[in-house]
Amino acid sequence: MATGDTAGEAHVEVRDLTMAYGSFVLMRDLNFTVRRGDVFIIMGGSGCGKSTLLRHMIGLKEPARGEVLYGGESFTAAPPGRREQMVRNFGVMYQSGALWTSMTLAENVALPLEQYTDLSKREVRDIVAYKLALVGLSGFEDFYPADISGGMNKRAGLARAMALDPEILFFDEPSAGLDPLSAKRLDDLILHLAESLGSTVVVVTHELASIFAIGTNSVFLDVESRTMAASGDPGQLRDRSPREDVRLFLNRGVADGKSFPNGAPAATNGGDRGDRDRPAGPPDR
């Protein structure tokens, strides 16, 4: 089902994956390949299983059937020690953003470094400062998540996901809850950082604007048939998918300049004005 294998080598392969909660089969027979350097979009309607698929890819949930491979090596079948090594190459930003609210931004970003490395306090502090600078949050080290805007929280989550210089970054709805301008800035930042770090990126989103702005490859999960309906370049799927439902999903909303599949707003447009109050010099403008 994967389209042309011309770009980078296979980074992640999802093979014959069936996902279930107990006896309830959510999706079956998922087969797709994420290539190195891809910005790979997992898309589909609300509740179809996008977050669950991401959880399978990072090992938070086990397949009912099938497997996930990294660089040709089975992650699903790997023994626990090896699996832990493989997980260290992952950077993850969950759907909620989920910083620890009782910790400062610096403490949040330092956490994976303290957990997984033997770096000295000073080295950790330097890396934390560097990662926060990359996402435009220099000077906010000692702020708590509650003291900054939603957009800034997302960027701090991004800094934390990148703390260990992961080979692959996973994002679950990174721009959900942001106003369109902050969402666009976050997309740009993700792209900029992924390019400069040479990371592969896997993004769950139903934001059409994001899908076409950043996606190089994708899989479309169909809630009706409980399996994938398409995979490949999202722009090509929008224009040329043989599946009408896929074309419809990808065309709806962009025609009138908005991004809300299934007739419902995909994200709140109120509240977060994101980036108004941060210091100068970020890379994401």
Ligand X SMILES: Nc1ncnc2c1ncn2[C@@H]1O[C@H](COP(=O)(O)OP(=O)(O)OP(=O)(O)O)[C@@H](O)[C@H]1O
Angle between helices 150-161 and 121-134 (to 10 degrees): 130
Candidates 40-48, 112-120, 121-129, 193-201 — which segment interacts with ligand X by CB under 6 A? 40-48
Residue 26 interacting with Mg ion (CB under 5 A): no
**Nearest distance in Å: CB 48, ligand X:** 5
Residue 49 interacting with ligand X (CB under 6 A): yes
Please state, in angstroms and rounded to a whole number, the distance separating the CA atoms of residues 202 and 175: 14
Residue 49, contacted partner among ligand X, Mg ion, none, CB below 5-8 A by kind = ligand X
Residue 51 interacting with ligand X (CB under 6 A): yes
Candidates 48-56, 149-157, 239-247, 270-278 — which segment interacts with ligand X by CB under 6 A? 48-56
Please state, in angstroms and rounded to a whole number, the distance separating the CA atoms of residues 136 and 159: 10
**Which are the contacts of 239, defined by CB distance < 8 A and separation ≥ 6?**
247
With left for phi above 0 and alpha for psi between -120 and 50, is residue 220 left, alpha or beta?
A: beta
- Cβ atoms 189, 156 nearer than 8 A: no
User: Which residue of 11, 50, 154, 155 would you call a contact of ligand X, by CB under 6 A?
Assistant: 50
Q: Locate tokens 């679950």: which residue?
A: 172
227 class by beta-carbon count within 10 Å (0-12 exposed, 13-18 middle, 19+ buried): middle
Residue 223 interacting with Mg ion (CB under 5 A): no
Residue number with CB closer to ligand X (106 or 176):
176
Residue number with CB closer to ligand X (26 or 133):
26
What sign does the CA torsion over 213, 17, 45, 248 have?
A: positive
Residue 8 interacting with ligand X (CB under 6 A): no
**Nearest distance in Å: CB 111, ligand X:** 25
Contact footprint for ligand X (CB under 6 A): 21, 26, 46-52
Q: Which residues bind Mg ion (CB under 5 A)?
A: 51
